[in-house]
Amino acid sequence: MADRTLSDDERARMATPLWEQARAAYGDGRADDGDRLLDAAVLQWSALKDYSINWITSLLTFIGEELGEEAVERALRKTGDEFVRPRRDTGTDWGSLPASARAKVIARAMVSNMGEVEVDEDDEKITLSFRCGSGGKLIDDGRYEGEHAYLTLRERAGRTLMRDELPVYCAHCSVNNEIQPVEWGDAPTSIEYPPERKGEPCVHHVYKDLADIPDEAYDRIGKPRPPVT
């Protein structure tokens, strides 16, 4: 029998997630080891997140370059219908939730995605300004520039929020978070203003009263304002 190259401890560590190793270290009173392992787990998650985001954007770029920008929207709509809508179907209409609850859900998701957020509020709305850990990070990292640039959508349509340009990854925000929810008879998740250049935040407006959402927000996605219920 060949000599084993892995010790029992090494095999156990390979089979145990870093956060569980951190939990065990804290339980044993080894706080420094716990902190080190927790930091390592965060770095590991961040690397996997970046891998997945680039994978998604590469696929969307291929779809757009091979089949056209409308095909990108069709692909995102499939994701919306088969994945996003079931997650949204909690038994409570999104628009019926207080703006504070809607804002907390959005902020939690974005911060969990390695983003940063500044929160502001006025009488009309809550404003969330994100340093986005996904689409915004791709822009800041220059992934839409150079020899192997990801696709920038250039056809003015609802999927581009009627802009002349929109980075392809950001189109899931317009399609899945605004266009489709309105088509499903609900409110947009929020009214989003993706960054247009490096260093800009992704700004979300969460209106306290849905009736205060401006007409422009619906015009730019090519949808009529839903009737007030």
Q: What is the pLDDT along the chain (229 residues), one digit of tens a residue?
A: 567 899 888 998 899 999 999 999 999 999 999 999 999 999 999 999 999 999 999 999 999 999 999 999 999 999 999 999 999 888 999 999 999 999 999 999 999 999 999 999 999 999 999 999 999 999 999 999 999 999 999 999 999 999 999 999 999 999 999 999 999 999 999 999 999 999 999 999 999 999 999 999 999 999 998 876 5
- Extended beta strands in the chain, E state: 116-121, 125-131, 152-153, 166-167, 191-193, 202-207
Cα separation, 207 vs 185, whole angstroms: 17
Strands 202-207 and 166-167, sheet pairing:
unpaired
Cα separation, 227 vs 201, whole angstroms: 31
In sequence order, the β-bridge partners of residue 204 are 128, 192
Cα separation, 146 vs 160, whole angstroms: 22
Contact 210, 200 (CB under 8 A): no
Cα separation, 140 vs 138, whole angstroms: 6
